[in-house]
Amino acid sequence: MHVAMIGSGYVGLVSGACFADFGHTVTCVDKDASKIEALNRGEIPIYEPGLDVLVNGNRFAGRLSFTTDFVTAVKDADAVFIAVGTPTRRGDGHADLSYVYAAAEEIAAAMTGYTVIVTKSTVPVGTADEVEAIIKRTAPGADFSVASNPEFLREGAAIDDFKRPDRVVVGVEDERAQELMRALYRPLNLNETPILFTNRRTAELTKYAANAFLAAKITFINEMADICEKTGANVQDVARGIGLDRRIGSKFLHAGPGYGGSCFPKDTLALVRTAQQFNTPTRIIEAVVEVNAARKRRMVEKIEAACDGSVKGKTIAVLGLTFKPETDDMRDAPSLDIVPGLIERGATVQAHDPQGVKEAKHMLPDSVIYCDTPYDAAKDANAVVIITEWNEYRALDIAELSSTMKEKVMVDLRNIYRPEDMENAGFSYTGVGR
């Protein structure tokens, strides 16, 4: 089957490479000529474990190609996926659908023969209906269907999520589109992957509902962590105690500095705006958005408290800048609130991240000092703060770390270390909810 992927960002590139690995012929399109040139040289513009091997293996096999030529990619495609960005619109919090609608117009002008246009981007309820209307206006005689196929990819584990998903959700309004989408995902039959066919609006809402629910779980356990700190309880034991209940489950019950990334912040806000548009209160999700934003800012106060009430004139080593490990994504990362907050209060910040420095330099204050190793970041520091739980921070040489620091203070916002071990090493240790 011939597939065109409009947009070669995170979702488009991972999805295109995985479809090619299934045996389909895939062309990824992007308006950014420099990105396409880099991909054709075998250079991957984002960090995602295993993606370079997957992309280049299928590129050399002739199943995956990259181009800026929209018409050539679309005209013979059986399915055209719209995988462009839907960032939060400035001013009102709604998802910006301008890229989606522009892609729909271009697809309408380029496609020939029966084509299924699939919204892969995360979009509010009713977007597929508008895509269909745009195509009908632009190409009145076109033979096409519109489907919704939301992605559920975790950054850092996206390839496995695509090839071995919990489920595939496809929103369609006609039998032809359903059969084509079923054929496209047929390779997943071997894994007995559930493929849920719904109407388009249900598929669109399912994506938002999933992310909002997971964001709510994170926010809930973070509030439990605050109670644990006041009462002397241990949030990790609380999380295990409730997570063993199969009705609740253990995932997304890890207390920390708040959620970030490309999905949860914008999707929860977009869902709130959609609910407001339809005059349907979503007080739980509104609270999740507000509590999470406040939590990130409050982490600065937590660090100050660990530093005897003030960070003014002190050097703080920050380990981890990305919103989660195994990605270079800095979007809405807790570090974007914490690091500027520390600097505003007079601290000098020395930071390390295995993959995020390039992006961080565009998003954090110029005064941040970037270091090659965690130990370089800790040199002459009054405190070390762990924001992102990269694997290389899980087994730091504590003796080496402490030997280079001015004061032995650790604020572990991911609860990587055991308090008793750090205290035995001479550290003043602060975790979350313990």
Q: Which domains does the chain have, with CATH numbers?
A: 2-198 (3.40.50.720), 199-434 (3.40.50.720)
Q: What pLDDT score does 89 carry? A: 83
Reduced 3-state DSSP string for 349-397 = EEEECCCCHHHHHHHCCCCCEECCCHHHHHCCCCEEEECCCCHHHCCCC
Looking at the DSSP assignment, which residues form a beta bridge with residue 26? 3, 64
Q: Please report the pLDDT score of residue 54 as a whole number.
A: 97
| pLDDT tens per residue, range 96-147 | 999 999 999 999 999 999 999 999 999 999 999 999 999 999 999 999 999 9
Taking the C-alpha atoms of residue 291 and residue 313, their distance in angstroms, rounded to an integer, is: 30
Instruction: Give the model's pLDDT for residue 88.
Output: 86
- Given a cut of 50, the residues of the chain with pLDDT beneath it are none
The pLDDT assigned to 224 comes to 98
Rounded CA-CA distance 267/274 in Å is 10
Count CB atoms within 10 A of the CB of residue 235. 24
> Helix, strand, or coil here: 319?
strand
The residues, ordered by sequence, that sit 6+ positions from 296 with a Cβ below 8 Å of its Cβ are: 257, 258, 260, 334, 336, 337, 338
Catalytic residue among 228, 263, 307, 371: 263
Query: Do 29 and 73 form a contact (C-beta atoms < 8 A)?
Result: yes
Q: Is 263 a catalytic residue?
A: yes
Bridge partners (DSSP) listed for residue 29: 6, 67
pLDDT at 262: 85
